[in-house]
Amino acid sequence: MKNDIILSGVGGQGILSIAAAIGLAAVANDLFLKQSEVHGMSQRGGDVQSHLRLSDKPVHSDLIPYGKADLIISVEPMESLRYLPWLSKDGWLVTNSAPFINIPEYPPVEEILKEIRKIKNHIIIDADVIARESGSIRSGNMVILGAASPFINMSFASLEDAIRKLFGRKGEEVVEANLKALKAGRELSGK
Amino acid sequence: MKRLLLLGDEAIAQAALDAGMSGMYAYPGTPSTEIMEYVQSSAEAGQRNVHRKWSSNEKTAMEAALGMSYAGKRAMVAMKHVGLNVAADAFINSAMTGVNGGLIVVSADDPSMHSSQNEQDSRFYAKFAMVPCFEPSNQQEAYEMVFDAFEASEKYRLPVLIRITTRLAHSRASVSLKEALPERERSIPSDPLQFVLLPAIARKKYKALLTSYESLKYDLRISKYNTFKDGIKRDLGIIACGIAYNYLMENIGDSQVDFPVLKIAAYPFPKDLIKDITERCNEILILEEGAPLVEEALRGILDNGIKIFGRLDETVPRDGELNPAIVAKAIGLPVSFGSEVPALVKMRPPSFCKGCGHADMFDSLIEAIKEYGPGRVFSDIGCYTLGALPPYSAINSCVDMGASVTMAIGAADAGLFPAVAVIGDSTFTHSGLTGLLDAVVKNSSVTIIISDNSTTGMTGGQESQATGRIEQICKGIGVSAEHLKVIVPLRKNHEENIRIMKEEFEYRGVSVIIASRECIQTASAKRKSAASGN
């Protein structure tokens, strides 16, 4: 088993929490794991990506080779397209549709979505809306993780456990909000 | 056996704690920062009272670590590659004095310059200083090497360099921990002159260093990390150093290694193994992350021996970091590729945070200096270097820590008027103080703007040695009170700040303007932590 995942978004959007949740679940499942963080020089506002590699055998490269990613999980639509050279031909792209616009020449969202729809396997979700509906506007990242969860080779329950561990210190309320967001995302991609 | 999910940086920090380190010294710098941060947040380090405060710069960190080693304890100092330039004087001479307690210097290189000014390869420094160098290929190896590095350091009484690169520093994997060792007892060196590099003593010590460097390669603590695996395809032998080995294995896999492969992860060069693989194979490919250190040595000046492929003949690109595709191409394997990035995807360059004080400072500076023409602002290394990019395009240099002040002095000496320096508070205490003293002593015609956000912002908001002290420091160095101005870079003060800047540009002597407003990231983090009652 091998699961190569690229996480993408903009600095401050919570992709490192997604990485941490998958990482914790992988450790609990006794999988080999490498998770490489790539961020530019600024703390906020620049593009951010993380390469996550899960396998039942030792993982060599910290970076996923081009054309080998099984899944792109993106919390921002334009950012999801930046990593297409890594996506394998049967890979899935799961992305938020809500744009993070902090550059003047940001393209029209409709055109971005049109490009995403050209990918054979894609799921587009307005995570910000779903997060609001599930009562926690800040857990859009967990909605996206939930939507991507069918394509991650680990049980949904192990992701739930990871979220309990990850947010446990912040109190039961935060844990519940994130679990709810995760489930909402999962249900959407199940449809 | 306890296992933890750790970044390469964190694996090194955890190992140092487990190996009985008593003191950690560092100045923040990507990609090395998380080493110190891990030790700072470690509960165990707290209980043991392991020293773990930031230093003003890499040189002071290196020297303090050497002092702890002098006192018989194990110490580690960490920095980014260019930080080793700052610490070089102390580092090179620490090989001459030798150590007492084990001393490890970690230098984190940044090939491809993700957040650096160059991509220098720290392995050259180890060779230059004639000390052992470890170059881990993965997190587990990094963890284990720290134990061997401390032991080798104490056995040969030499500092040991651990060289990592961005990918390992910032990649997480599961690491199995070893049994923890106690800290060492305090002891002063048995030879009272060991650390006294008077010429007569230094000459003897240098001869001893030359001898010990030769014997290092036979030490098992070093040599065990260099491994040779024979293969059936003898036409090509591959030498892969450090993390390059991972990219090679990613391509050729564990089970079906056809080529003879020599993995080098510790230096001095494993001469016997290199001789062995070159005798077996008609041609050699060398894969190194960083500069062609092994390749140059193997080619020699005349380059008339065996056929060698590597960075120097561009089988591998001469610059930039490696990846699985580059290595695949180098060994003649096909490279798969997903689909092209659609043309509508735009770059998202880093930018100032909304509400950043540096941005307001630049808004005023641009207005104030407009009438004098372009090309008069020297700057430095920090978030404010973003002032070079549009829409600001406000600075004309970013060279090394502190160079804004001293380049402005030189330009003023050449008659450039006004000569303005823009430097952050942490960079100012790192390497700006001595430049300011030069300016005061010569009464240079410079205006130095210290953009003070009370933190080391670009590396994530570590404490800045200057916080609350800048005014006093400037006064102490001799800046006159009339030309030491403190402004608050806020929109509402824009006109007033322009007026103050213009006034100080016109003064033909040393002016310092402290533009002081807390970094909005650290301010908001403080608010959040106060709100949650932590």
For residue B377, give the amino acid letter: V
Rounded Cα distance between B30 and A162, Å, is 29
Residue numbers in A near B460 (CB within 8 A):
43
Domain that holds residue B373: 357-523
Q: Tens digit of pLDDT for each residue in A42-95?
A: 456 788 899 999 999 999 999 999 999 999 999 999 999 999 999 999 999 999
Q: Tens digit of pLDDT for each residue in B408-454?
A: 999 999 999 999 999 999 999 999 999 999 999 999 999 999 999 99
| Domains and their CATH numbers in chain A | 2-190 (3.40.920.10)
Asked whether residue B233 falls in the same domain as residue B145, the answer is no
Asked whether residue B26 falls in the same domain as residue B127, the answer is yes
Rounded Cα distance between B194 and A179, Å, is 61
Is the Cβ of A107 closer than 8 Å to some Cβ of chain B?
A: yes
Residue numbers in B near A90 (CB within 8 A):
none
In a mutagenesis test of the B interface, which of A8, A30, A41 is the best target, namely the one with the most B β-carbons within 10 Å? A41
Asked whether residue B240 falls in the same domain as residue B174, the answer is no
Residue B153 domain-assigned?
yes
Is the Cβ of A173 closer than 8 Å to some Cβ of chain B?
A: no
- Taking the CB of residue B130, how many other CB atoms lie within 10 A of it? 18
**Strands across the sheet with B21-26, in order?**
B21-26, B74-80, B103-109, B160-165, B133-134, B266-267
Is the Cβ of B324 closer than 8 Å to some Cβ of chain A?
A: yes
Shortest alpha-carbon distance between residue B22 and chain A (Å): 30
Asked whether residue B48 falls in the same domain as residue B17, the answer is yes
In a mutagenesis test of the A interface, which of B166, B339, B352 is the best target, namely the one with the most A β-carbons within 10 Å? B339
- A62: tokens are 């910290």
CB-nearest partner of A44 from B174, B340, B353: B353
Rounded Cα distance between B24 and B22, Å, is 7
CB-nearest partner of A34 from B172, B323, B353: B172
Q: Tens digit of pLDDT for each residue in B50-89?
A: 999 999 999 999 999 999 999 999 999 999 999 999 999 9
Nearest chain A residue to B381 by CA distance is: A41
Asked whether residue B326 falls in the same domain as residue B307, the answer is yes
CB B54 within 8 A of CB B465: yes
Residue B68 domain-assigned?
yes
Q: Tens digit of pLDDT for each residue in B291-309?
A: 999 999 999 988 878 899 9
- CATH number at B234 reads 3.40.50.920
Q: What is the mean pLDDT of residues B21-40?
A: 97
For chain B, the domain total comes to: 3
Q: What is the mean pLDDT of residues B191-204?
A: 97
Q: Tens digit of pLDDT for each residue in B80-125?
A: 999 999 999 999 999 999 999 999 999 999 999 988 999 999 999 9
Residue B346 domain-assigned?
no
Torsion angle, alpha carbons of A18, A24, A27, A31, to 10: -20
3-state secondary structure of B406: helix
Contact B344 A107 (CB under 8 A): yes
- CATH number at B37 reads 3.40.50.970
Residue numbers in B near A44 (CB within 8 A):
353, 521
DSSP 8-state code for residue A107: P
Residue B102 domain-assigned?
yes
Asked whether residue B58 falls in the same domain as residue B199, the answer is yes
Strand partners, B78: B26, B106
Asked whether residue B177 falls in the same domain as residue B232, the answer is no
**pLDDT band at residue A191 under the 50/70/90 scheme:** low
CB-nearest partner of A67 from B5, B338, B345: B338
- B118: tokens are 């160059």
Rounded Cα distance between B279 and B286, Å, is 15
- Give the E-state strand segments of B86-139 in sequence order: 103-109, 133-134
Contact A62 B338 (CB under 8 A): no
In this complex, how many residue pairs, one in chain A and one in chain B, have their CB atoms less than 8 Å apart?
Answer: 146
In a mutagenesis test of the B interface, which of A8, A29, A42 is the best target, namely the one with the most B β-carbons within 10 Å? A42
Is the Cβ of A67 closer than 8 Å to some Cβ of chain B?
A: yes
Rounded Cα distance between B299 and B310, Å, is 10
Backbone angles phi, psi at B220, to 5 degrees: -60, -35
DSSP 8-state code for residue B396: -
Domain endpoint, select from B314, B330, B346: B330
Residue B118 domain-assigned?
yes
Is the Cβ of B335 closer than 8 Å to some Cβ of chain A?
A: yes
Residue B465 domain-assigned?
yes
Rounded Cα distance between B141 and B178, Å, is 12
Residue B531 domain-assigned?
no
Q: How many residues does chain A have?
A: 191
Asked whether residue B7 falls in the same domain as residue B24, the answer is yes
Strand partners, B516: B452
Asked whether residue B215 falls in the same domain as residue B261, the answer is no
Give yes or no for residue B144 having a pLDDT over 90.
yes
**ipTM attached to this prediction:** 0.93
Instruction: Note the Cα A7 to chain centre separation in Å.
Output: 5
Asked whether residue B113 falls in the same domain as residue B168, the answer is yes
Please give the C-alpha separations between residue B324 and each of A68, B246, B398, in angstroms, as whole numbers: 11, 8, 32
Rounded Cα distance between B482 and A183, Å, is 64
Residue B415 domain-assigned?
yes
Asked whether residue B165 falls in the same domain as residue B34, the answer is yes
Residue numbers in B near A41 (CB within 8 A):
30, 114-115, 350, 458
Rounded Cα distance between B469 and B454, Å, is 10
Rounded Cα distance between B289 and A120, Å, is 36
B267-282: burial string, b at 16+ Cβ within 10 Å, e else:
bbbbeebbebbbeebe
From the list B187, B142, B190, the residue with the least C-alpha distance to B162 is B142
Helix (H) or strand (E) holding B153, with range, is helix B139-156
CB B285 within 8 A of CB B239: yes
Asked whether residue B246 falls in the same domain as residue B176, the answer is no
Rounded Cα distance between B91 and B59, Å, is 8
Residue B167 buriedness (CB in 10 A; 0-12 / 13-18 / 19+):
buried
Is the Cβ of B247 closer than 8 Å to some Cβ of chain A?
A: yes
Q: Is the dihedral of CA A44, A49, A52, A58 positive or negative?
A: negative
